[in-house]
Amino acid sequence: MSTQTATSESRYLSYSQAARYLSVSLGTLRRMVERGEVRAYPVGERLIRFDRAELDQLVRGDEEAAQ
């Protein structure tokens, strides 16, 4: 059984985790979502998650694949 935490293994990140992962502020990440630069996935009524694989593509500059 793995002893790693769920956060280090999770494919989906919260707003704050995604902002840290991209090295941007929460406000910048929210604007990126509003402009359609980053895809956000609603989970339930209030919870939003970001796909780590898509964020990796964005960081590498592969914007078409991230959308």
Q: Where are the domains of the chain?
A: 12-66
CATH topology of domain 12-66: Multidrug-efflux Transporter Regulator; Chain: A; Domain 2 (1.10.1660)
Write out the chain's pLDDT in tens, 67 residues. Answer: 444 445 456 899 999 999 999 999 999 999 999 999 999 999 999 999 999 999 999 988 865 554 5
CA atoms within 13 A on the CB side of 32: 22
pLDDT of residue 4: 46
In the three-class reduction of DSSP (H, G, I as helix; E, B as strand; rest coil), residue 48 is classed as strand
Which 3 state secondary structure label does DSSP give 67?
Answer: coil
